Structure 1
Amino acid sequence: MNFKTLALHFKFTRQQRTGIFLLFLIIVMLQLVYFFVDFNLDEKNFQEENKWTSLQSEIDSLKLAKYNERPHVYKFNPNFISDYKGYKLGMSTQEIDRLFAFRKENKYVNSAEEFQHITGVSDSLLNVISPLFKFPEWIQKKNNFKVDKKEFVQKTDFKKEKIVILDINQATQEDLIKIYGVGEALSLRILKQKEILGYFVSMEQMNDVWGLSPEVIAELKTHFKVILPVNLKKIAINDASLKELSQFPYFRYALAKQIVTARSMDGNFENIEDLAKIKGFPVEKAKIISLYLEF
């Protein structure tokens, strides 16, 4: 083939060359669009939408299950009803006050009928709340008597259960869980508090354990008491270093520093009253703190 003849096929006018260049540019642009534009975007959006829809459906079903779930009702000892508890049960202020006055005499109601007699609640309210009452086991095991021609016939033999009072400093988790209202979590908190302090010096320290209600504390005081260890090691307040004082749970570092400063400037402390004069000293716990100190 003659190359000159072949070259004649590649001779173009200026307008033709411009058209070919534009055509080539359009082809290149279409190729770039094909490679860089994601044509599956709608499909991805649809998948994401399905995922969120299914998640929302699951959330809605959980909300509906929680809404339809009946709240668990716990039984309680009516002797230890608080103002708020009585209000929630539907008792009037006067009825709650009558129960408090009865309890101040160190007396206890032992049945739903006695509760109604003391408080004066209506029959309708008693029928609603009495199934929630839970009395101690020894009350439930009381002898049942019936009257027949003025003679009492004993149905069952009953011996009153004697309450054994234990040392709170020697109590185990099993001992604490036996108390009504004390579960695994609260028993561990009591033991943790004893570990922090080293030992308890007063049952009033139960008030410092988070989560213990007044009713549970009263039960603990019934079954436990404080017996101080024989080898009790107290803190020598007039000789202890700043480090030793700051490690005492009832003192903060700032208070320990003030104690050391006051001791060096004014001399030794004679009693807890001298110590309580320091600014920031927890005066309300002075009696308990004094049992840990040696003057």
Structure 2
Amino acid sequence: MSFKSQFLFSKAQRNGIFLLLILIVIFQCIYFFIDFSSKDVQVNKEDLSRFVREVDSLKEIELEKRKTKTFPFNPNYITDYKGAVLGMSNEEIDRLLEFRKQKKWINSAKQFQEVTRISDSLLKVISPYFKFPERLANTYSKTNFDTFINNKSKPFSQKLDLNTVTARQLQRINGVGKVLSDRIIKFRNKSGGFIADVQLQDVYGLTPKVIDNITSYFTVKTPKIIKKINLNSATVDYLVTIPHIDYDLAYEIIEQRKLREGYKSVEELKKVKDFPINKIKIIELYLHLEKEN
């Protein structure tokens, strides 16, 4: 084997060697001409401090939003859950509930502490949120005040007109706060006045007990004047103007009227399919009966 044969390469080998040389040259150029050294990052401490303060401020705002907010409330209506949120113990809550079962009312922060026996520190925290109904007014004597407390119904002549009563006067009634009194006034204004006491049933949030309390002192003395609709001749378009009657029910009422050859009493409406029986006293305020010609 000759020494010269050691340096003889095939065409593929020569191409490979040439490519290798090119790569070596390229990497050498990269090494010499490109600076890979890391540079220190310059931080503007003033800008960074301002950014941190902004982030902290946003965090505080978000945390404030998430806090449970306490709004003014009547302590007579504290529930187990409400009492626990306020920081009262189970025993303190039970004392309050037992006091209320006796139909007694708390009228001051001092009386609240006497009944529940909460600590001075807790009373100091929660008492600023106590809101007691303004039961006394210049137009009412002490006797009237006691009557409101005891829920003894007044005779008709002594009752105030439900169509002229104010929200503040309504708030003297047990169970009626600012929210419910405002709803009653808004309902009255929207409908143009009450026709009868029974319409209080349509005020959202009024329970039968609260309605009884209200009608013990207030009643409709100047009812809204309306033109009643003849049940035995009314068309669908007239019937749907009555509260609680929609088009489907109006068609059913007319179908039953045809089958019965006219209604003999409003009570017969209870036999109509899907008729809201619990609202019949309200619906009949808008109806009268005449023999259809």
Residue 9 (structure 1) aligns with: none
Q: Are 1:168 and 1:225, in contact at CA under 8 Å, matched by a contact in 2?
A: yes
Q: Output the CA distance in 2 between the equivalents of 1:294 and 1:212.
A: 28
Report the alpha carbon displacement of residue 195 of structure 1 after superposing the two structures with TM: 5.4
Q: Are 2:230 and 2:287, in contact at CA under 8 Å, matched by a contact in 1?
A: yes
Q: Are 1:138 and 1:160, in contact at CA under 8 Å, matched by a contact in 2?
A: no
Q: Are 2:228 and 2:286, in contact at CA under 8 Å, matched by a contact in 1?
A: yes
Q: Output the CA distance in 2 between the equivalents of 1:206 and 1:80.
A: 22
Aligned length: 214
In structure 1, which of residues 99, 102, 123 is the aligned counterpart of residue 118 of structure 2?
A: 123
Q: Output the CA distance in 2 between the equivalents of 1:59 and 1:190.
A: 47
Report the alpha carbon displacement of residue 216 of structure 1 after superposing the two structures with TM: 8.6
Counterparts in 2 of 1:283 and 1:85: CA distance versus 1, 3 Å:
farther
Tell me if 1:102 matches 2:102: yes
Q: Output the CA distance in 2 between the equivalents of 1:216 and 1:132.
A: 24
AA at the equivalent of 1:109: I
Identity of aligned residues (%): 37
AA at the equivalent of 1:287: K
Counterparts in 2 of 1:210 and 1:226: CA distance versus 1, 3 Å:
same
Q: Output the CA distance in 1 between the equivalents of 2:94 and 2:82.
A: 14
Q: Kindly indicate whether structure 1 or structure 2 has the higher relative contact order, using CA contacts under 8 Å at least 6 residues apart.
A: 2
Report the alpha carbon displacement of residue 275 of structure 1 after superposing the two structures with TM: 0.6
Residue 256 (structure 2) aligns with: 262
Q: Are 1:196 and 1:249, in contact at CA under 8 Å, matched by a contact in 2?
A: no
Deviations 1:38-90 (A, max 9, x none): xxxxxxxxxxxxxxxxxxx9898555324236765333223344565445444
Residue 150 (structure 1) aligns with: none
Counterparts in 2 of 1:265 and 1:216: CA distance versus 1, 3 Å:
closer
AA at the equivalent of 2:118: D
Q: Output the CA distance in 2 between the equivalents of 1:277 and 1:159.
A: 50
Q: Output the CA distance in 2 between the equivalents of 1:58 and 1:121.
A: 45
Report the alpha carbon displacement of residue 217 of structure 1 after superposing the two structures with TM: 7.0
Deviations 1:170-208 (A, max 9, x none): 45xxx336655437x974x54553355454245564453
Q: Output the CA distance in 2 between the equivalents of 1:77 and 1:225.
A: 26
Residue 278 (structure 2) aligns with: 284
- TM normalised by structure 2 equals 0.53
Report the alpha carbon displacement of residue 270 of structure 1 after superposing the two structures with TM: 3.1
Counterparts in 2 of 1:62 and 1:190: CA distance versus 1, 3 Å:
farther
Q: Output the CA distance in 1 between the equivalents of 2:193 and 2:268.
A: 24
Tell me the SS of whatever aligns to 2:274: coil
Tell me if 1:193 matches 2:175: no
Q: Output the CA distance in 2 between the equivalents of 1:60 and 1:94.
A: 42
Q: Are 2:73 and 2:131, in contact at CA under 8 Å, matched by a contact in 1?
A: yes
Deviations 1:116-167 (A, max 9, x none): 56xx5232287254443222445699xxxxxxxxxxxxxxxx9638579542
Report the alpha carbon displacement of residue 281 of structure 1 after superposing the two structures with TM: 1.1
Where structure 1 has 5 or more consecutive residues not aligned to the other structure, the ranges are: 1-56, 142-157
Residue 142 (structure 2) aligns with: 160
Counterparts in 2 of 1:219 and 1:67: CA distance versus 1, 3 Å:
farther
- TM normalised by structure 1 equals 0.53
Tell me if 1:176 matches 2:177: no
Q: Output the CA distance in 2 between the equivalents of 1:59 and 1:256.
A: 62
Question: What are the equivalent positions in structure 2 for 1:1-295 lying under 5 Å apart?
Answer: 61-62=57-58, 64-68=60-64, 73-82=70-79, 84-86=81-83, 88-89=85-86, 90=88, 92=90, 94-95=94-95, 97-103=97-103, 107-115=104-112, 121-124=116-119, 127=123, 128-137=125-134, 160=142, 166-171=160-165, 175-176=166-167, 180=171, 181-182=177-178, 187=182, 190=184, 193-194=187-188, 197-203=191-197, 205-206=199-200, 208-210=202-204, 224-229=218-223, 231-295=225-289
Q: Output the CA distance in 2 between the equivalents of 1:79 and 1:228.
A: 34
AA at the equivalent of 1:176: A
